[in-house]
Amino acid sequence: MSAVLEVSGLSVRFRTDDGVVPAVNDVSFTMGQGETLALVGESGSGKSVTSLAIMRLTSGEVGGRVVLHDTDGATRDLLTLPESEMREIRGSRIAMIFQEPATSLNPVMTLGEQIAEPMRYHRSMGRRTALREAERLLDLVGIPDARRRLASYPHQLSGGMRQRAMIAIALACEPAVLIADEPTTALDVTVQAQILELLRELQERTGMALLFITHNLGVVAEIADTVVVMYAGRIVEKAPLRPLFERPLMPYTAGLMRSVPRLTGLRETLTAIPGNVPDPALLPDGCSFAPRCDHLEAGRCDARVPELDAASDEHLVRCVRWRELAAP
């Protein structure tokens, strides 16, 4: 599998009156063709900012490298491109869908126009051709009666249909990478399953890489090939799906899994992770998770920020005590 997106040492900092806030720190991962990478974390972990930084949609200062290996063979470092070139890539080579389909669509433009837009600007399509394509895309994403739907407005559709329309917009120019920022969080569970199914199908069909951002481990289990867990702006664990779920090495990841309610099996009490996600402006010295960690060892955990260790070829973890904690 050839690499499509290589993110190395990505960092995002915001300048505020209270100083510099490091929202994202030293994030690196690689995505291959057809791969689904899930970016997991609670709110405030920096996962959304990471995705926005890749698209260069954030007003913070972005450092590091984001290399896109496009389907046509071209290789570009997105962070060094001039804005005009980046604009050409946005929406056509890398596309993004967002969490709230209700508010993410322009209320006064028809569906057809909104789907046609990226095609008209990126591929210089004429209006009629673009609308025909739009109809095909609506069909592709499973919206019935596509031709008539072209003329409808967002408020006339249900949440699930709107999200499908968003996906159609994203797919319009056949992107190499699709970033989905919590696309199912605002939807009903049944619709959620449909959307996930749709994304899987489309991915198989087009071979695009999917960067899926979520805080829901259930969804991760459904859709991910690789999982990256983020906390307070840093990657704290990274592994392929099964190894992560079978043997989470970072206490935070383990804690996350324990706090997922189960409908079957033994009725255990929900164990939430005590405390709150730290304010990115006031990160503690040493491991950011230490203050909430059951296995905190003063002197070791709170001294310096742990490095990202390689527990195995593909399993990375940022914890000084992982070996001891993992020992059976």
Sites of contact with other proteins (CB under 8 A): 14, 16-18, 21, 23, 48-49, 52, 55, 57-60, 87-92, 95-96, 98, 100, 103-109, 117-118, 121-122, 153, 155-156, 166, 169, 280
Residues 6+ apart with CB under 8 A from 31: 3, 4, 5, 6, 37, 177, 209, 211, 226
Contact 196, 163 (CB under 8 A): no
Measured between its terminal Cα atoms, the distance across the chain in Å is 34
Q: Which one, 88 or 294, has the nearer CB to other proteins?
A: 88
- Compute the least distance from the CB of residue 6 to other proteins, in Å: 21
Nearest residue to 253 via CA among 304, 307, 315: 315
Nearer to other proteins, 167 or 249 (CB): 167
C-alpha R_g of the chain: 21
* Shortest CB 236 distance to other proteins, Å: 19
How far apart are the C-alpha atoms of 145 and 147, rounded to whole Å? 6
CB 13 → other proteins: shortest distance, Å? Answer: 10
Alpha helix locations (H) across 123-173? 127-140, 146-149, 159-171
Q: Which is nearer to other proteins, 172 or 235 (CB)?
A: 172
CB of 81 to other proteins, least distance (A): 12
Specify the residue, 61 or 309, whose C-beta has the smaller distance to other proteins.
Answer: 61
Considering beta carbons, is residue 153 or 245 the nearer one to other proteins?
153
- What count of residues does the chain have? 328
Please state the closest distance from residue 270 (CB atom) to other proteins, in A.
26
